[in-house]
Amino acid sequence: MSTNGATQRQWSMAGTESSPGSRLRALLNGPEPAVLMGAHDGLSARVAAEAGFPALWASGLCISTALGVRDSDEASWTELLDMAARVVEASGLPVLVDGDTGHGNFNTARRFTARAERIGAAGVCLEDKLFPKMNSFVGDGHELAPIGEFCGKIAACREVLVDPEFVVVARIEALIAGAGLEEALRRAEAYRQAGADAIFIHSRKSTVKEIALFAEEWRSRLPLVIAPTTYHATPMKEYVRLGISGVIWANQSMRASLAAMREACRSLRRDGPVAVEAGIASLDELFSLMKYQKLAEDEKRYGEEASGIAGLVTAREPRS
Ligand code: SPV
Ligand code: MG
């Protein structure tokens, strides 16, 4: 039986109303793993939506990068959520917001979560490290939060939600910290009991092996989400076999834009504007993505000239 089949029964499905949370749940319960594309601002959100991704990941690493700071709690949580709000608004898609450690204790975590729900996100993902955290791919000093403390954070976040369908994902950093498979499983079970809706098991190995071992032991107790940044060469059918519910392409869009901006800046400085023109988006492409044409149509519909109302209105009520 697939994970998605198993989890379908565990989760109450959305009724006729489809909140962002229920849309994300439906995707995670689908027959294939849901693919969440990383986004870091309104533009990257629109580009991902245009490419057809069904859901987005508001990446802490990429939003921090877009803000010009490091993914080590250098941006404040309100700065991160302001950008996540742009991602939500620009895409219209269900967005899972990277909540890092919850930016402190249970209280900051639940305030962050409540605000994430208010900006229209579909869920938050909290990771079991200590504040201030460091990006999981940097260095070896990844200290794990005590299990009880992190369970308290999850429970506190669940309790502030207005929409019970809003998704709270618990992210396990035990494999990143080198604490081993048993510790990762122990934590996942504790977070499940504390009220998490899904488990994000993170790995920075170049193969899927440790994720596979985890998934085989976990046996679909809750949906599993992964971010195969380093083991990206794994075929999707392996994730299907392992019963993975969500695959996050966390940072490819940001890395693509970094490479493209760098190339354009260097080439323009070195060789002049003619050299770059063929390789960059045209203004027409930009205007089309941002729907400038629709604005012109709306101007015809709602603009002063169009309404025609002013000319018809007299100062007094017409006499009958
Ligand atoms: C992020 O995108 O900010 C993440 C995923 O947390 S990773 O950078 O892969 O840890
Ligand atoms: Mg992050």
pLDDT at 15: 44
Distance 125 CA to ligand 2 centre (A): 9
| Residues less than 5 Å from ion ligand 2, measured at CB | 60-61, 98
- Is 82 in the active site? no
Over 50: is that where the pLDDT of 144 sits? yes
More confident residue, 314 or 61: 61
Correct CATH for 5-249 of 3.20.20.60, 3.40.50.740, 3.50.50.60, 3.30.390.30 = 3.20.20.60
What percentage of residues in the chain have a pLDDT greater than 90? 88
Report d(CA 139, CA 25) in Å as an integer: 34
Protein residue closest via CA to atom 8 of ligand 1:
61
pTM of the model: 0.92
pLDDT at 12: 43
Please report, for the chain, the start and end positions of each structural domain, with discontinuous segments joined by +.
Answer: 5-249, 260-315
pLDDT tier at 306 (50, 70, 90 boundaries)? confident
pLDDT per residue as tens digits for the range 33-56:
999 999 999 999 999 999 999 999
pLDDT tier at 280 (50, 70, 90 boundaries)? very high
Number of helices (H), then strands (E), belonging to the chain: the values are 16, 8
Q: Is 135 in the pocket of ligand 1 (CB under 6 A)?
A: yes
For 225-264, give one letter per residue: b (16+ CB within 10 A) or e.
bbbbbebeebeeeebeebbbbbbbbbbebbeebeeeeeeb
pLDDT at 314: 72
Ligand nearest to the CA of 99: 2
